[in-house]
Chain A
Amino acid sequence: MCCLRLGLVLPLFLSVLLHFFSCKINPTTPDRYALVYGVSDYDETISYNGGYYFSDLNFTDDDALDIASRLTEKGYNVHLRINDGSVAPATAPATKEQLITDLTIFAATLSENDILLIYFSGHGTQSSPVGWNISQNEDQFSDPYDEYIVFYQEDPDYTTHTVSDTFFYSLLQDTPPSKKVVIIDACNSGGFIGQSSDFDAVPADYQFNDETRDNILGSTLSACFHPSEADITPDTAIVITAAGEQETSAEPDLSDIYNIQNGFFTEGVLEAFQNGDFNKDGYIDTLEIYTYAIKVLENLNSLYYLEYHPHISGGPVDFILFEAD
């Protein structure tokens, strides 16, 4: 009889709990801030370890402009930094120093309930080809090299214009918002994602090496029992990247055919702003952006005979970023 009573009482108890933990989205938007960085002008005379250099990019400044414009429409307080900062609407240069300044200011002024979105479009690289510092601080499924994003080069010394995954992680840890999102459209950007207690089975090099898919259960067990604390961990920020740790991301000129003047991944993100609400709840969250960007990227990649795959942080949560159009 005791079981029967419990069986009757439990649904009632659950419905009361459901009422108290109602998950309807609060219509009052939190304060939202965005740092948008785009670098297209690179100094080809700066070479690293004998001849390796970064060439100019076509659309990374357009990427930043378009993302900033859409985020402003969505109600974000946007700080736009492009190249040397001399061309409006950018208000400051896209340098490493500026990123540190911006995040230092945010560390002092933002609150835990705010949302902070950081976007970067430009060159990305690994420490391997140029012999840069290796922090030895990578998650257990990454290769041993650090990944870097390359900011506007005011000084030839690479340490003044590159930000590594490990350094980015330390910068983010000092900013108060509990909801931080980092979107990177750059080569090797997947290396910024720290796989902590779960395992991303999308390979670091999607086109040429699917090795990690072979031992998914073993890798997941390893992540569960030996979680790593490196790169940008999911409890610090949700990171969405254009490419895997060992992949390039592309920005071919398809303006003649499709009137697209953005990197492929950023094009996907911009389209997700408009059409990404696949669960029809009226809001766009980080997973919807990732999912829609993959869809767009797959179409564009097939046109250009490319194959690379976006990545997203693990962890149990997603952040809602703005209302759907």
Chain B
Amino acid sequence: MVLAQTLKNHQHIGMNRRTITLFIFFVTLMFSIREEAGAFSFSFSAHPTAALKQTGNYTAKFQTGFSLTTGFTAPLFEKYFLQLGARYLGFDRSGGGEDWVSYRGFTGLSASAGGGVLFQRVSLFHRFPATPSLAFRGYGNFSTYDYTDIYFIYLTFEIEPMLQLLSFNNRQMALQIGAPVGWNYQRDVDLFLTAGLSLRILFSLNGKEPRV
């Protein structure tokens, strides 16, 4: 009884500490975001993608895919940002290859969370200003194989170098290109890598130039 009560008290104290830490982190985050609130942005992007898959004793094969993404970005301090996003994705089935085995095509919906770093503005060809950045994201993907009602879940961890190139519409919109590279964890697949290109349009929410 004494031991149980002691453990309970320790658990309680531990939980309080965790709650306080989380609260402080949240408050700090909110203040940081508030300071930069003028630069919140929405984005829509299109991604042609290739996936390399391999499982069991079958040979690795490519699948081509495409995804459409929407995201919400909040700047954090001077050079960081947080992102939440959602996407629709689809991959075609692979060819049959040497071993007469093809990887199934699939479509799905994903939710993502991530963040990144903004670098100093550079001048491309000594003429065009551009802002490089680097994003890290995690995705949860809920998908179904084509022509079936079989559903599966996989996770994606992605890194994307990006370059914001053009501003237009009174600098309220901007064009960004990127090259996302992802490692995917699917329970019944041994290797699942993705790489592609992204073309993204950013919309500022307050009339200022979107930063990411």
Neighbouring B residues of A1 by C-beta, 8 Å: 122, 124, 132
- The answer, yes or no, to whether B177 is at the interface (CB within 8 Å) is yes
Q: Which of B97, B124, B181, B186 contacts A26 (CB 8 A)?
A: B97
- The answer, yes or no, to whether B2 is at the interface (CB within 8 Å) is no
A14 smallest CB distance to B (angstroms): 5
Task: Please tell me if the beta carbons of B58 and A18 are within 8 angstroms of each other in the complex.
Answer: no
- The answer, yes or no, to whether A314 is at the interface (CB within 8 Å) is yes
- The answer, yes or no, to whether B66 is at the interface (CB within 8 Å) is no
Residue among B145, B162, B186, B188 with the highest chain A CB neighbour number at 10 A: B188
Neighbouring B residues of A6 by C-beta, 8 Å: 161, 179
- The answer, yes or no, to whether B163 is at the interface (CB within 8 Å) is yes
Closest to B198 in A: A7
Please report the total number of B residues contacting A with Cβ < 8 Å: 54
Mask of A1-43 contacts with B, CB within 8 angstroms, 1/0: 1111011001101100110011111100010000000000000
State the CA gap A160–B171 with chains docked (Å). 79
Task: Please tell me if the beta carbons of A7 and B150 are within 8 angstroms of each other in the complex.
Answer: no
- The answer, yes or no, to whether B167 is at the interface (CB within 8 Å) is no
Q: Which of A14, A200, A219, A316 contacts B188 (CB 8 A)?
A: A316
Task: Please tell me if the beta carbons of B50 and A14 are within 8 angstroms of each other in the complex.
Answer: yes
Q: Which of A13, A221, A291, A320 contacts B96 (CB 8 A)?
A: A320
The verdict on A7 contacting B99 (CB below 8 Å), with A2-B132, A201-B150, A227-B187 known, is no
Stretch from A46-54, A123-131, A191-199, A266-274 at the B interface: A191-199
- The answer, yes or no, to whether A306 is at the interface (CB within 8 Å) is no
Closest to B150 in A: A314
- The answer, yes or no, to whether A252 is at the interface (CB within 8 Å) is no
Task: Please tell me if the beta carbons of A178 and B147 are within 8 angstroms of each other in the complex.
Answer: no
Minimum-distance CB pairs A-B, first 6: A23-B95, A25-B96, A198-B152, A197-B187, A3-B161, A320-B100
Interface residues of chain A, those whose CB is within 8 Å of chain B, are 1-4, 6-7, 10-11, 13-14, 17-18, 21-26, 30, 112-113, 115, 178-179, 196-202, 216-217, 219-221, 223-224, 227, 234-235, 279, 281, 283, 285, 287, 290-291, 312, 314-320
